[in-house]
Chain A
Amino acid sequence: MANVVLRDVRKTYTGGFEAIKGIDFEVGDGQFCVLVGPSGCGKSTLLRMVAGLETITSGDIDIGGRIVNQIEPADRDIAMVFQNYALYPHMTVYNNMAYGLRNRRMPEPEIDTRVQEAARILELGTMLDRKPKQLSGGQRQRVAMGRAIVRQPKVFLFDEPLSNLDAKLRIAMRVEIRKLQRRLKTTSIYVTHDQLEAMTLADILVVMNGGRVEQIGNPLDIYQKPATTFVASFIGAPPMNLMPLRSDEISAQFAGDSRAASEAGILGIRPEDFIISSETIVGGIALDLTVEAIERVGAETFIYGTRQHEIQGVAANPGELPPGEVIVRIPGAVAPAIGERIKAVAPRESLHLFSADGRKRIDL
């Protein structure tokens, strides 16, 4: 049991590329911390620095009250689950789990107890004599987790452990990992690029972008109050609608609000916060949209509309909406027809305002 503290951690590669640009956060004892961000944001590098597989250029990493910067991975009292599982292909499942313990010269009876216990928890009991080649992806994943569990480390590190599994198995394993972590109460750091995984697993969510932390907090808080436009569009699927607050119909609706008028440059609204109605809400916002496309997924329907007063264009970044396009999520399968003109309204409390550069949230 231990907490993990990062203090102004930086990583610069020999070529001069700065992968991690000063990161501070703390994971409390027994908490499940998820690092999430787009590929190349430095989340895996950061995890590998905690593991000791990458050197730390400056700053401190502290595991359980001990600064581990110069300590070998084996002596940091951590266990890691890799994306491709990294099982020893020539060893049986049993030996894969026992290997790390044998290297630590643990007595054989104790190893056996721990491996059997892990096998029972992970339902691997009948597979202990098999080689990794004879297992399915999900089973290999379990063995990789078993190898981490038997060590009884202070910290579990997960590097995108589910990304090699198919969608259904991924959800099942996600729930299992969460249950297991609750039961063992081991401090965990988990890296993923999947915002849904991040939302469902995390006690603390760390959203990263370009080697920096964008926001740290409880997942729901982050969802409800994103600190930057990056977080707003990264967390939540489909992403939050972001539109410039210019001297047009939108800013006119904020005419009475001096702060919004002076500081804010960008307005954000989540797709599910809209309702389609012909009446406006006092203090809220109303957008006139032309329906361009409709996606029905059964329980809900996504309407892609374009604003009539906006110039059409292409998205600046992948995953973002093109300017002028708005997604509205409505429950059920009844939706307007393509080409129809609709009015989407959102109440004042579900509006998000950001500074013009998107780096700062402005609370109404």
Chain B
Amino acid sequence: MVEHRPWNDIIAYAILTLGVFIVAFPVYVAVIASTHDAATVVGGRMPLSPGGHALENYYRAIFVGGSRTAPEPVGQLLLNSFISAIGIAVGKICISILSAYAVVYFRFPFRKTAFWIIFVTLMLPVEVRIYPTYKVVADLRMLDTYAGLILPLIASATGTLLFRQFFMTVPDELLEASRIDGAGPFRFFWDTLLPLSVTTISALFVIQFIYGWNQYLWPLLITTQDSMQTIVTGIKKMLVTTDELAEWQLAMATAVLAMLPPVAVVIFMQRLFVRGLVETEK
């Protein structure tokens, strides 16, 4: 529908602007709050213009840590988050591309069953199976380790389904040409299927990186040492205080820092991400 009525445009822009404002204003407040000193933020009247303590706040957040409430500097938490998010994203991609390859290209007994079992796990996210998962991880002595943060979140059906759908669009003749060209199952996967999957892999990477980065419940459960926390659980800890004021300016600086990596991943991989989700030409 193409219409050119000035009022329509004005209303549309007004609604869009309002939407952007609703989303962006809290982020703006967080950025502003991270540039003032503690007294100003706690004082109750938050200014809406930047203050002069930005460098000091970010330096303390990253390298020193909050005075009492959150002794671990954010630098360590960022690293933890980064390792587990990368681990989850890469691990998921490896597992799901291989399982999709098996399900699509190999004829083995109970192939359909295997596929349906994978499919059914879609209904069982971490939150639902959290007690047994915790028990397994604890028994394997993986509490407070990166393996414990990463492994339970790796297995999931979404990636397998995405790759399966993609593999089904790859023409059979390509496999047959590979067979005639003397490429075995591994060579076909490595030389042909993997390069064709690059955009799908990128799309999945973006989704899973953000999924891993934003994990809250699971890291909260299995990390007890401050040095193993992720940044998302770290922010929460900064605000829980018993007998003194929370250092809001540091919490806000941490929140801003926590936002940056996912934003960077989306910005840098946006082009591939969109192509991976919409690509049809093979």
Contact = CB atoms under 8 A, between A and B. Distances in A.
Do A and B truly interact? yes
A99 B181 CA distance: 7
Given A86-B174, A88-B174, A89-B282, A74 B195 contact: no
Contacts of A86: 171, 173-174, 176-177
Contacts, number: 56
A272 B227 CA distance: 93
Given A89-B282, A103-B187, A74 B181 contact: yes
A265 to B, nearest CB: 44
A9 B173 CA distance: 23
Interface stretch (A77-85, A313-321, A354-362): A77-85
A89 B176 contact: no
Assign chain A's interface to a size class: 20 to 34
Interface of B: 171, 173-174, 176-177, 179-183, 187, 191-192, 195-196, 282
Contacts of A53: 176, 179-180
A80 B183 contact: no
Nearest to A51: B180
Contact of A100 (B171, B173, B182, B195): B182
B166 to A, nearest CB: 13
Nearest to A87: B177
A104 interface: yes
A78 B181 CA distance: 9
A73 interface: yes
Interface of A: 51-53, 72-75, 78-80, 82-84, 86-90, 99-100, 103-104, 147
A73 B174 CA distance: 14
A103 B177 contact: no
Contacts of B177: 80, 82, 86-88, 147
A103 B178 CA distance: 10
A152 to B, nearest CB: 14
A1 to B, nearest CB: 19
B180 A99 contact: no
A55 to B, nearest CB: 12
Given A74-B181, A104-B182, A99 B176 contact: no
A84 B177 CA distance: 11
A73 B180 contact: yes
A51 B177 CA distance: 10
B180 A90 contact: no
A100 B195 CA distance: 17
A51 B174 CA distance: 14
Contact of A79 (B174, B176, B180, B187): B180
A89 B196 contact: yes
